[in-house]
């Protein structure tokens, strides 16, 4: 019996921090550990979803379908989820992911663009996948708009709608307001995906649960873009203290985090000056590594780049603007 469904994103959101260089063996080891710990769903894909391996978003070391198949082969109970952003991934990517062993798809759009997802959500349901709509950059729209967009997802066939704090910008009361409004206005289940750029991922996840969310994302050792996500093993411990059932074994999930994930972390998942400013300015968390590169290339402060990106209200897919901003700041 699970009161809350934890979905681990270490093998997808964590791909950003890993510069999309996961090996098949690393994916197998983490997948096996998550399965043994009793995690119901975990996501496997390029950081920008199916089809994301490219010069713009970063080339994967191993084809994502091979990684999905490897992860699925390690599962006896856990189920592999995938992320698809329309325009980066296409419907055929969903079919290929199913053939590789995926059981769940999350179709992600900008918070005001749910209308581009209709065919992808419908096709995901047709393929028999557990299907979610994923509203990214949820801080960039008022609650009334989020409700409208969630209703679109639900009308297309989404079984879950996620509020996604892609920048780690939201405060707990803002999370509560958004989740509560969805709870009052849609019939499907509600999920929440946090980033920890302002050290609020856990607080925001708990606020989402209190307001009615039943699907919560986390990553082992907070391995994700920016300063990472709600830390899966810590979330399990906190919810266990609260008497909330997740179906995840606490000791096992700690072992996966410490023994398998910790040794491969490319850098500590701490809140650095740049990732803090990313949350403060409301900038897409996957921009962090691109910003670091642009800062070195043009000799300007990362924080200045991020503040300007926030002022321009940039969104995922506008990575080219990072370098344009850096160049303009140098001038």
- Which residues does the annotation mark as catalytic? 16
The answer to whether 46 is annotated as binding is no
> Residue 12 annotated as binding?
yes
**Residue holding tokens 């290339």?**
297
**Residue 22 known to bind ligand:** no
Q: Is 241 annotated as a binding residue?
A: no
13 is in an annotated binding site: yes
Q: What is the 3-state secondary structure (H, E, C) of the chain?
A: CCCCEEEEEEECHHHHHCCCCCCHHHHHHHHHHHHHHCCCEEEECCCCCCCCCECCCECCCCCHHHHHHHHHHCCCCCEEEEEECECCECHHHHHHHHHHCEEEEEEEEECCCHHHHHHHHHHHHHCCCEEEEEEECHHHCCHHHHHHHHHHHHHHCCCEEEEECCCCCCCHHHHHHHHHHHHHHCCCEEEEECCCCCCCHHHHHHHHHHHCCCEEEEEHHHCCCCCCCCEHHHHHHHHHHCCCCCCCCHHHHHHHHHHHHHHHCCCCCCCCHHHHHHHHHCCCHHHHHHHHHHHHHHCCCHHHHHHHHHHCCCCCCCCHHHHHHHHHHHC
Contact 85, 49 (CB under 8 A): yes
**Residue 139 marked as a ligand binder:** no
Question: Could you tell me which residues are annotated as the binding site for substrate?
Answer: 12-13, 166, 193, 284
Binding residues: 12-13, 166, 193, 195, 284
- Feature table: binding site for Mn(2+): 13, 193, 195
């Amino acid at each position: 019996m699970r009161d809350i469904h934890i979905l681990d994103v270490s093998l997808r959101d964590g791909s950003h921090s890993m510069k999309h260089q996961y090996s098949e063996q690393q994916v197998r080891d983490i997948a096996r550990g998550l399965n043994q710990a009793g995690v119901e769903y975990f996501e496997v894909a390029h950081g920008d979803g199916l089809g994301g391996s490219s010069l713009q978003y970063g080339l994967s070391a191993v084809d994502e379908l091979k990684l999905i198949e490897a992860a699925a082969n390690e599962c006896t109970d856990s189920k592999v989820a995938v992320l698809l952003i329309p325009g980066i991934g296409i419907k055929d990517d969903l079919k290929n992911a199913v053939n590789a062993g995926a059981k769940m798809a999350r179709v992600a759009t900008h918070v005001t663009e749910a209308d581009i997802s209709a065919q992808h959500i419908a096709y995901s349901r047709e393929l028999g996948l557990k299907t979610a709509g994923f509203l990214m950059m949820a801080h960039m729209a008022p609650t009334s708009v989020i409700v409208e967009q969630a209703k679109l997802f639900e009308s297309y066939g989404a079984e879950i709608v996620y509020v996604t704090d892609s920048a780690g910008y939201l405060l707990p009361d803002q999370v509560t307001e958004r989740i509560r409004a969805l709870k009052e206005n849609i019939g499907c289940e509600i999920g929440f995906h946090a980033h920890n750029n302002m050290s609020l991922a856990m607080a925001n996840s708990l606020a989402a649960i209190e307001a009615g969310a039943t699907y919560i994302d986390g990553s082992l050792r907070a391995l994700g873009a920016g300063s990472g996500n709600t830390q899966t093993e810590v979330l399990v411990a906190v919810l266990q203290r609260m008497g909330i059932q997740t179906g995840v074994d606490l000791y096992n999930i700690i072992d996966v985090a410490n023994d398998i994930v910790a040794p491969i972390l490319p850098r500590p998942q701490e809140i650095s000056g740049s990732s803090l400013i990313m949350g403060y300015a409301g900038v897409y968390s996957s921009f962090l590594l691109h910003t670091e590169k642009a800062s070195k290339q043009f000799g300007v402060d990362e924080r200045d780049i991020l503040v300007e990106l926030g002022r321009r209200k940039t969104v995922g897919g506008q990575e080219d603007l990072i370098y344009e901003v850096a160049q303009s700041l140098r001038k």
